[in-house]
Chains A and B, each alone.
Chain A
């Protein structure tokens, strides 16, 4: 995809710049003339949506940091100061709070899209692994950000999650003390989380740059599985993908504004409006919705160390996905069985999320174990097995061929696809 450049400097200034720092050439090649498969659908817009929300989070976060005070006696009050006194502080904080949820919503759609269309397969393994690293960094950032308001959920969430590390044999307890900077979660914990919460987004930006670089080396996948062969199979990023992404972002912002202006606390917990109290644990400790599936996996395993390994393993396994899947066909549109199991997997993740919000009693731990077992079976049994046994549907000659068939012979196309 990163073939030779079609950029032609027109003015003298452009030529002068181009021989010294070819930045205009880079932007033109990568974001104007960059070829995009012409059949990609709106699921592919979530990469652009994520880029926008990363910017939204960084800009609103930098502003909040101007008013927030990372101190155990002042953090909660400083948030209320932002909400009440700072000009438009309420708006910026609600943007940041809900922006985190939208960021995760988009990253999950983006990840599932990658799984559906086989975007992790050769030659995109590095691209995929960079994405998994971004996901893990996002989770760490979001967790530490949730601690900063220093409400009850902040404090007890920090206590529970840092205690995960105490499961490590021999060195677990010293590590937890080291994370805390004390004998319990306290002011040193808050200040270091604040520092890291400010730092990690910029690390994410760095990995995102690598992620986009890798993407622009291999090019995008597409729903019809075959790589672009002729220029007729692709369109330029600008204006085609750009306008499509822009429309998707516009729709996303409508939903975002609905939450920010009308149900700003819907995705949060009432308990986090109670100041942190080291002497009283809330009746139900639950993380934010986007971490619930992993929380359910943690609680599904009755052994402390085992639970921690399972939880982190649920993320780490994604790294090995390119080598677990032996099927040469990427797009689930041409994999009749993988498609079914993909949707079961999505349902399993949602099921685990629901279980993560339920109390750890009654039937729920058993259901969590079923969900967790399926989660890992999907990666270690179903996906490798499908690579051997599944018979894919006939692949189109080219993207143009697939698009033409869909439009001119819809009934023939439907017959082919449902065979």
Chain B
């Protein structure tokens, strides 16, 4: 046995560590120059994690009330709100939401004339901007990023040794933790730090100067179900909603993963037993 593992084990270990270190020691572009966010509790974190339907519904309410005034969500369709693994709103409610959506969909009528109509279930959330330039002009030169995959498009550096343990603890929530931190990260600029007019100081934003005004405040949205109506709670709920928007298949992915891993562990055990039985015939091997 000595020589068997002389090569394979150390090399596998070394390369495994190398891979993880290289992947995660990469300085993330978006969070450099900002403070490190705090980790939050998430229902969808970890091996058994699944979305909290009620939280996604509350998060949608925040998005619908606040975020949508500037941000687009162009990869998500109205129908998704009713689909399994999401907020799972009743279909007729989603139909009403679509019909009453403040932004219209551009379409062409039977006579070939361009028209604007209310969105349908199959439509993705329409954009309020004719193009990127127009959006920039409306926001003082800054472009409000589309929110569809924002929860996967933002991250922050974890540092040693967390980038190693993250593989095993399955820490995946960099994006949502950053969003929560950002939404609660507005404060007065430190002495001598110059913030241009129309911009704001945010502790967690890279470079600290952000074009987005503080979007949330205590009591801004009525939940009506006993959930605290605080800025922090709003930020967590909307971050969870954005995680779902970015990764709508998370629930089913993790569920299938249980069966796949269970299957593979048993199968690997059988393969080992088979290998052991076969090699027992060879002299010098057990």
Residues of A within 8 A of B155 (CB): 270
Residues of chain B from 242 to 286 with CB closer than 8 A to chain A in the complex: 246, 248-249, 253-254, 256-257, 260-261, 264-265, 267-268, 271-272, 274-275, 278-279, 282-285
Q: CB-CB < 8 A to A113: which residues of B?
A: 7, 11
B2 within 8 A of A: yes
A261 touches B148 (CB 8 A): no
| Contact digits for A39-56, partner B, Cβ 8 Å, 1 yes 0 no | 001110000000000000
Interface size class of B (residues with CB under 8 A): 35 or more
Q: How far is the CA of A286 from the CA of B267 in the complex (A)?
A: 38
* Cβ < 8 Å to B, chain A residues 74-105: 77, 80, 83-84, 90-91, 94, 101, 105
- A257 touches which of B3, B149, B175, B257 (Cβ 8 Å): B257
Q: Which of A84, A258, A260, A275 contacts B80 (CB 8 A)?
A: A84
A222-233 interface code vs B (CB 8 A; 1 in, 0 out): 011000000010
Does B4 lie at the interface of the complex (its beta carbon under 8 Å from any beta carbon of A)?
yes
**Chain B 145-160: CB-based contact to A (< 8 A → 1; otherwise 0):** 1101100111100000
Q: At the interface, is chain B mostly helix, strand, loop or mixed?
A: helix
Asked if B172 is at the interface of the complex by the 8 Å CB criterion, the answer is: yes
Q: In the assembled complex, how far is the CB of residue B189 from the closest CB belonging to chain A, in whole angstroms?
A: 22
Cα A243 to Cα B281 in complex, Å, equals 13
Contact with B along A332-364 (1 / 0, CB 8 A): 110000000001001101100110111100000
With a cutoff of 8 Å between Cβ atoms, the chain A residues found around residue B115 in the complex are none
Contact with A along B12-28 (1 / 0, CB 8 A): 10111111111111111
Q: In the complex, are the beta carbons of B22 and A353 less than 8 A apart? A: yes
The answer, among B76, B154, B166, for a CB contact under 8 Å with A263, is: B166
Q: Is B129 an interface residue (CB 8 A)?
A: no
Instruction: Please determine whether B172 and A261 come into contact, CB atoms closer than 8 angstroms.
Output: no
CB pair A262–B257 under 8 Å, yes or no, is: yes
Closest chain-A Cβ to B120's Cβ sits at a distance in Å of: 16
Chain A residues whose CB sits within 8 angstroms of the CB of B282 once the complex forms: 38, 235, 240
Given A273-B246, A350-B17, 20 other A-B residues pairs in contact with their CB atoms under 8 A: A41-B4, A41-B8, A77-B75, A80-B148, A84-B76, A235-B282, A239-B278, A240-B282, A244-B279, A250-B271, A263-B166, A267-B23, A271-B29, A275-B146, A283-B206, A284-B27, A333-B6, A346-B14, A353-B18, A406-B284
